[in-house]
Amino acid sequence: MRGKLITLEGGEGVGKSTNLAYVRNLLEQAGVDLVVTREPGGTEVAEKIRSLLLTPSEEPIAELTELLLVFAARAQHVETLIRPALERGAWVLCDRFIDATYAYQGGGRAMNLGVIAQLEQLVLAEVRPDITLLLDLPVEVGMARARARADLDRFEQEQMSFFESVRSAYLARAKAEPNRVAIIDAQPALEKVQLQIQQALQQLGVAV
């Protein structure tokens, strides 16, 4: 792999969109050939799977179905967009990736981490994030922001305890892999958050 894969993660309402635009700008200004994408989704077919995952439905989606849909979308995304981009030397900036599965399905849904790891190996093979920025915020602050927006999607309708587990699982991932995952405190004013992002990218070896 010649390019780098940078992922942006965090719970609901942590400011991913604004900060994704900031990272994009930094990298483009540094002259990086950049592909910006998101999960679940990122390709036509994967976006259809995203809408299955996010749209509330009368029939409840079983946890295993949810996990397999997340990985089905990811398989399509990795095979058709991410791996080819990295192979040609482009960098990929992805709004959520594998850590979201450990956080939401592993933490929030308390699904078996060994099963997630097996699917990770099958679907990602050698493709792994080089750098992950984890935007972290107390759950009640993030949820207040998320709930102030438009209609809630299927995940946003979960209970606070679900999001507490999501947050803990994200922080555990960061603790286990400090050389890959930078925790960004998303609570202060935007300039302070962005300063942390800039420093983290420098520390993790991305000179911008």
Site string for ligand TMP, 138-157 (x = CB under 6 A): -----------------x--
| Shortest reach from residue 41's CB to ligand TMP, in Å | 8
Nearer to ligand TMP, 70 or 82 (CB): 70
Could you count the other beta carbons within 10 Å of the beta carbon of residue 177?
12
Q: In what order do the strands lie in the sheet with 131-136?
A: 34-38, 91-95, 5-10, 131-136, 181-185
Q: How far are the Cα atoms of 113, 121, 129, 191, 195 from residue 124, in angstroms, in the given order?
A: 16, 6, 10, 34, 31
Name which of residues 168 to 207 contact ligand TMP (CB under 6 A).
Answer: none
Nearer to ligand TMP, 109 or 208 (CB): 109
Do residues 24 and 36 lie in contact, with contact meaning Cβ atoms separated by under 8 Å?
A: yes
Identify the bridge partners of residue 170 per DSSP, sorted by sequence position.
Answer: none
Site string for ligand TMP, 90-109 (x = CB under 6 A): ------x---xx--xx----
Site string for ligand TMP, 1-40 (x = CB under 6 A): -------------------------------------xxx
| Shortest reach from residue 155's CB to ligand TMP, in Å | 3
- Residue 105's Cβ-count burial label (10 Å; 0-12, 13-18, 19+) is buried
70 binds ligand TMP (CB under 6 A): yes
- Compute, in degrees rounded to 10, the torsion defined by CA atoms 22, 23, 27, 28: -40
Closest-CA residue to 48 (of 6, 17, 76): 76
| Shortest reach from residue 202's CB to ligand TMP, in Å | 26
Do residues 19 and 194 lie in contact, with contact meaning Cβ atoms separated by under 8 Å?
A: yes
DSSP H helical segments within the chain, as ranges? 16-29, 44-54, 63-77, 83-87, 98-100, 113-124, 139-147, 160-176, 190-203
Nearer to ligand TMP, 65 or 202 (CB): 65
Size of the site for ligand TMP (CB under 6 A): 10
Nearer to ligand TMP, 3 or 41 (CB): 41
| Shortest reach from residue 8's CB to ligand TMP, in Å | 10
Name which of residues 40 to 69 contact ligand TMP (CB under 6 A).
Answer: 40
Residues forming contacts to ligand TMP in the complex (CB under 6 A) are 38-40, 70, 96, 100-101, 104-105, 155
